Amino acid sequence: MDELIPGLPNDIAQECLIRVPYDGFPTVRSVCRHWKQELQSSQFHRLRKTAGLTRPVIALVQAEPALAPTAGPAKKYTACASPSYRLVLFEPVTCAWSCPPPIPGLLRGLPLFCHLAAVGRELVVVGGCDPETWAASDEVHIYDFEAGVWRRGARMPGPRRSFFACAASEELRAVFVAGGHDEEKNALRSAMAYDVATNAWAPLPDMAQERDECQGAFLRGAFHVVGGYPTEAQGRFSRSAEPFDVDSRRWGPVEEDKLEAGTCPRACVAGADGRLYMYRPGGDVAALSDDGSGVWRAVAEAPETARVAPLLVAWERGLMLMGLEKQGGGHVGYVGEV
């Protein structure tokens, strides 16, 4: 076997390589073929995790003022009223922020209202709306954290949809999509799954109900579609949910009264402990009991500076709450353990 580092046993060389932070992976891969193969091996990443060297990374969409040229001979730029959007990465352990490279070809930034889905060491950007025309997009883009590059995925089939439920399964390396509305504003019942490894979409059975502006969560082998509303009930959110069992490939019965109130469920997320978490309008973060009682129990009080337009993000052993103190204010983020 070729030496990873000349003069060192390979087990010692591996101990050196696993200590490279994730944002250094693209550089390490470019050194030589053996290092690239090492980083691509599952053993390498198991060693990093066993040694406690892996760190959670949160991907967020951030608005930044769009720049337009001013009149005159000098090339000066001023901020436009319409911002563009970019990806930012936050490491809750170190509180460090960074930016991945922009998606090639998207000169106006990320599509509006696009969905982000994490699948292992890859981030999938699904759908959204064109920043200039507001037309729904069916595009898929995948960012490989290991290689530090973007690639295009297969387009979403069927009618172009917006405001759909989206969630991912790391184990299955799949992204699930359901509901939303088509370009005629008709709420949808259809669903599909995207296999990241094969770059292929597969249709799923339709849901029992139309669900526009619904939220997706993947828990315990099932894709849950929470809330939303049918075409004739514009803006009147349902309290129900529908679970899709991946093994049986069937939707379970509609779960009535899944939510405490008929509100927009966008602040509802799947926790790593197998429970649903949600910000409640009263000002706290609650978890759905896993005893089958359907009771939501408060787990933390939300800071007053983050109670407007709140958003929750979950990862292993943690939750992040982001929100505003008032409309038009700056975003504030808080991190807590669960």
Q: Is the distance from CB of 210 to CB of 216 less than 8 angstroms?
A: no
pLDDT at 26 over 50: yes
Q: Are 191 and 164 in contact (CB under 8 A)?
A: no
Longest CA–CA span in the chain (Å) reads 71
Does 75 score more than 50 pLDDT? Answer: no
Q: How does pLDDT run across 280-292, given as a tens digit for each residue?
A: 988 999 999 988 7
Share of the chain above pLDDT 70, in %: 94
| Encoded tokens for 224 | 């849950």
User: What pLDDT sits at residue 176?
Assistant: 99
What pLDDT digit, counting tens, does each position of 132-146 carry? 999 999 999 999 999
State pLDDT tens for residues 317-332: 899 999 998 888 888 9
Q: Are the C-beta atoms of 137 and 127 separated by less than 8 Å?
A: yes
CA distance 326 to 305: 8
Q: What is the pLDDT of residues 98-155, one digit of tens each?
A: 999 999 999 899 999 999 999 999 999 999 999 999 999 999 999 999 999 999 999 9
What pTM does this model have? 0.90
Over range 46-58, report the average pLDDT: 92
